[in-house]
Structure 1
């Protein structure tokens, strides 16, 4: 990496002596877990390059202007302002805030008792908590002169589940030499497999709800394998807690969900069949496995965000 940085400084010195150019355009390979980026420059990776606050909405694939030097700095992105307001995203944020602040999520009435469970009767008023702990009211009337407003049917707020444990296995048993879940074999001592564990938290969060989406976020550790992008070979597993013996793998691999260079962070959307298994408890967590050096890497994170439609 130091050779690439030196070449970058030499290039800008030559350009400045000629046409007076002060920046170079590079391609972003990944956004890192420190908020910087990995850049592709002259066919090589330039790692952990800092970014100015003018470079917003950072994403892999961006073309950016870079001020070279001993410590290169990404100045801005080529293209339209990524910070321009977007009505859809603003509405989504406002909706999330409204769900957080609501004291009452539904108020309906009719001549019969309310449907569902959990209602408590206060004379002719019923009250209960919904799945997000917000109050719901129902009013029983002797006769209806004005129809009840429709139940707003607001989808429950998304839930984020953090792993309660993680680890690595090699040779059919836990590998205490790996500090983070690891896939592949770098030293010739055998292929590793890693796993993230959530107890029953995923199934409990999904109980009684319709899951519309599940995403998971990871970061690739520095100093693990080649610097370039490698795929995370993701599997399901059915353990609530780390096993004392082999970590057996379930459905998978899904190797196209996420590819990361060292230090990079990313988020993947889990396949529909996987979210169904996790929501029902047929699967309990996520694992990684690879063979050999080419896809060797260690990863941290594992937070799963669950979105609901009902």
Structure 2
């Protein structure tokens, strides 16, 4: 008994096979600003464009790509994302609702209100809470019906912190020849180290809140080292702005991301790192590597901070 799927695959693979759309499977090596980097066997194909229908792209996805001189990713292979998408929409809706001022219902007239359960208000009090939302409190002359339960506490909305500046250092001083933060040494001129600086923005955003996670996003710059995936050797540093001398490295390294050229990636910082950044005992992020093996340049450095309800 033949397998129809295997038979169709064999037909598509044969020269002069059936006409129409012919595809093959490939795995996404990294997501770039122009599309995706694809891994097909041992070959790395850079910046392959994608159909608009391919959303929420991520490294590791298996996709269908057209054959030809200019391949195009046309869809992702995998499970039905419907349930996951519904959960994401609900969470976004709750976040949006928490950001706006809502009054459940409003009515007025010259006579008594219609229906049961109404209570006369002796005085109305109003205030603005810590999130800048208006709260009303109705003081009753007598209580004939208990108030509804208070709404469940929600975590403060996430914030995204971008670096105020960045740069590279080589041989103990700023490297004016590097346009982006870099790690390693390609030409024998000395190992580079790069840094991202946030001033006091991280500590200010976290003040009075319980941090549940910090996620940082970087993009591997083109034209730096080998095209294949290279790890970022991440460190903490204690500077609010770029130093005039050597950039001293703090705790590290942590290899949280491996990116091919042009690819973008997001990594969750270790718990101890987010604690240090929130408290201000660390101020920013740095990279460093020895030699040419992991030589690479990176851009980005935005931090998305989420909080827990208190």
> TM class by shorter-chain length?
0.7 to 0.9
SS in 1 for 2:178: coil
Residue 33 of structure 1 contacts residue 219 of structure 1 at CA under 8 Å; is this kept in 2?
Answer: no
Give the drift of 1:71: 1.4
User: In 2 relative to 1, CA 80–172 (structure 1 residues): closer, same or farther, beyond 3 Å?
Assistant: same
Give the drift of 1:264: 0.2
Aligned twin of 1:120: none
Aligned twin of 2:76: 77
Are residue 242 (structure 1) and residue 242 (structure 2) matched? Answer: yes
Structure 1 residues 243-301: Cα deviation after superposition (integer angstroms, max 9, x where no partner): 1011111111101x111000000101011111100000011111111111111110111
User: In 2 relative to 1, CA 63–234 (structure 1 residues): closer, same or farther, beyond 3 Å?
Assistant: same
Residue 57 of structure 1 contacts residue 82 of structure 1 at CA under 8 Å; is this kept in 2?
Answer: no
SS in 2 for 1:86: helix
Unaligned stretches of 5+ in structure 2? 1-10, 104-122
TM-score (norm 2): 0.82
Structure 1 residues 38-66: Cα deviation after superposition (integer angstroms, max 9, x where no partner): 11123011000011123233221122221
Structure 1 residues 110-166: Cα deviation after superposition (integer angstroms, max 9, x where no partner): xxxxxxxxxxxxx87351331x43334556678766357335322110011111000
Residue 124 of structure 2 contacts residue 136 of structure 2 at CA under 8 Å; is this kept in 1?
Answer: no
Unaligned stretches of 5+ in structure 1? 1-11, 105-122
SS in 1 for 2:304: strand
Aligned twin of 2:300: 301
Residue 28 of structure 2 contacts residue 61 of structure 2 at CA under 8 Å; is this kept in 1?
Answer: yes
Give the drift of 1:101: 1.9
Are residue 224 (structure 1) and residue 224 (structure 2) matched? Answer: yes
SS in 2 for 1:58: coil
Residue 12 of structure 2 contacts residue 18 of structure 2 at CA under 8 Å; is this kept in 1?
Answer: no
Q: Equivalents in 2 of 1:147, 1:78: separation in Å?
A: 51
Q: Equivalents in 1 of 2:300, 2:139: separation in Å?
A: 49
Give the drift of 1:18: 4.2
User: In 2 relative to 1, CA 137–249 (structure 1 residues): closer, same or farther, beyond 3 Å?
Assistant: farther
1:1-310 correspondence to structure 2 within 5 Å: 15-18=14-17, 22-34=22-34, 36-82=35-81, 86-102=85-101, 125-130=125-130, 132-137=131-136, 146-147=146-147, 149-150=149-150, 152-255=152-255, 257-310=256-309
Give the drift of 1:186: 0.7
Aligned twin of 1:112: none
Supply the RMSD in Å over aligned alpha carbons. 2.5
* Range with greater deviation from structure 2 (65-74 or 147-156): 147-156
TM-score (norm 1): 0.82
Residue 126 of structure 2 contacts residue 134 of structure 2 at CA under 8 Å; is this kept in 1?
Answer: no
SS in 2 for 1:273: helix
Residue 16 of structure 1 contacts residue 22 of structure 1 at CA under 8 Å; is this kept in 2?
Answer: no
Give the drift of 1:13: 9.8
Q: Equivalents in 1 of 2:164, 2:142: separation in Å?
A: 52
Aligned twin of 2:114: none
Q: Which has the larger radius of gyration?
A: 2
* Range with greater deviation from structure 2 (145-154 or 161-170): 145-154
Residues matched between the structures, number: 279
Structure 1 residues 205-258: Cα deviation after superposition (integer angstroms, max 9, x where no partner): 000011111101110001111101011111111100111011111111101x11
